Amino acid sequence: MKYTTIIDIAKELGISKSTVSRALRGDDYNVSKETRQKILETANRLGYKRNELAVNLRMQSTRTIGIVVPEMITPFYMKFITHAQEILNKAGYRVTLAQSHEDPEAERLNLQMMEDYRVEGILISVCHDKKNREFYQNFLDKGIPLVFFDRTVEDISAPKVKINDYIKAFFMVEHLIRNGKKHIIHLAGPSYIQNAKERKKGYKDALEKFRLPCPPEYIVDAGVNFTDGKQAVEALIKKGIPFDAIFCFTEMSALGAKSCLQRYNYHIPEEVAICCISGTELCMLVHPSVTTVEQPVMLMAEEASRLIMEKIENFSVADETVILEAEMVVRGSTLPLT
């Protein structure tokens, strides 16, 4: 597809492109009213649209902010994107989106694309807290601000928005214990995701507080998706490892684990309770519904948008870490149904 340019309009009318440019900018002083009217009519007829990117580059500002997320399967990231885009659009920014598919190489390509398009800042939830550190730092060294949200990088100096994953994991496991569960499996997230490490520590500390066992086989590296959770629980069952509760790193692994338990005719929650962090409405669409910690995604989008705009306006402003309160919602998967 060929876009109509100022040159096309100038050729159509047999006038200089500088005259067309002045007319389209609204220059009534150097272009007569009659000529300007002809140019506007021709531009409309040929379907001319102003190249906002070129205009912004001349002004040394693209007014564009990138958002990079690891996946767009669960409603959490889609809600974040939708709300952040709404806020940023109202403030006069455009938004460009990319997902890494949990792949650091894809994330690197996304970051490079955004640098090529000269975004003014990036909101990012990382898929790996180590592999792309040089890329993050390179952006910051060039004065291009980053704001990390949900999945953050611990020792990069940049604004962050998250929940207290350690505390919420501790309270969730404590909830299981106070409901009589003593053999609690943790389907852990990858060790290269910062909040997976924090949730694992919360799990272990809760068991230690109540002097419950935590043998190595109770902590299972179970990935992040539905299939990972299903396969992890199936392996536990086939190995004959006894358990009466499962605490999952994230929603999709919990739904996969639950599906496997029900396929093997376990009664939830009487025989096995199940819960997770980062739950969304998907946890309410199954039976029994799943107990979860729900992140305040709308507020997270608001805070992340505020921080990136502040950094764009003044890169030297202090890096702020915002810890948001998250709600534990107890549902049928951890309490006897009534």
Q: What pLDDT is stored for residue 241 in this prediction?
A: 95
Residue 51 above 50 pLDDT?
yes
Q: Where is 321: in which H helix or E strand?
A: strand 321-324
Residues 91 and 206 in one domain: no
Report CA 225 to chain centroid distance, whole Å.
15
Residue 328 above 60 pLDDT?
yes
Q: Looking at residue 74, what DSSP letter applies?
A: S
Q: What pLDDT is stored for residue 338 in this prediction?
A: 46
Q: How confident is the model at residue 41 (pLDDT cuts 50, 70, 90)?
A: confident
CB atoms within 10 A of CB 22: 18
Residues 310 and 231 in one domain: no
Please compute the mean of the pLDDT values over residues 127-137 and round it to a whole number: 93
Q: What pLDDT is stored for residue 288 in this prediction?
A: 96
Please compute the mean of the pLDDT values over residues 82-91 and round it to a whole number: 97
159: cis peptide before it, omega within 30°? no
Residues 182 and 282 in one domain: yes
- Crossing angle for the helix pair 297-313 and 75-90, to the nearest 10 degrees: 40
Choice between 326 and 25, residue whose per-residue pLDDT is larger: 326
Q: What pLDDT is stored for residue 216 in this prediction?
A: 95
> Which residue segment(s) compose the domain that 15 sits in?
6-50
Residue 337 above 60 pLDDT?
no
Q: What are phi and psi of 327, to 5 degrees?
A: -105, 130
Are 149 and 125 contacting, i.e. CB atoms less than 8 angstroms apart?
Answer: yes
Report CA 72 to chain centroid distance, whole Å.
8
Choice between 174 and 6, residue whose per-residue pLDDT is larger: 174
* Coil/strand/helix, residue 13: helix
Q: How confident is the model at residue 112 (pLDDT cuts 50, 70, 90)?
A: very high
What span, in angstroms and rounded, lies between the C-alpha atoms of 224 and 211?
29
CB atoms within 10 A of CB 23: 25
> Which CATH number goes with the domain that contains 313?
3.40.50.2300
Inside any domain, residue 55: no
What span, in angstroms and rounded, lies between the C-alpha atoms of 293 and 329?
6
Residues 180 and 274 in one domain: yes
* Domains held by the chain: number: 3
Reported as a single tens digit per residue, the pLDDT across 164-206 is: 999 999 999 999 999 999 999 999 999 999 999 999 999 999 9
Q: What pLDDT is stored for residue 20 in this prediction?
A: 78
Reported as a single tens digit per residue, the pLDDT across 286-320 is: 999 999 999 999 999 999 999 999 999 999 999 99
Are 65 and 119 contacting, i.e. CB atoms less than 8 angstroms apart?
Answer: yes
CA distances from 311 to 79, 90, 120, 134, 317 (A): 23, 17, 10, 20, 6
Residues 172 and 267 in one domain: yes
Q: What pLDDT is stored for residue 120 in this prediction?
A: 93
Residues 153 and 213 in one domain: no
**In whole numbers, what is the pLDDT of the chain averaged over residues?**
91
Burial class (CB in 10 A: 0-12, 13-18, 19+), 28: exposed
Inside any domain, residue 211: yes
Residues 117 and 27 in one domain: no
Q: What are phi and psi of 290, to 5 degrees?
A: -100, 130
Reported as a single tens digit per residue, the pLDDT across 226-283 is: 999 999 999 999 999 999 999 999 999 999 999 999 999 999 999 999 999 999 999 9
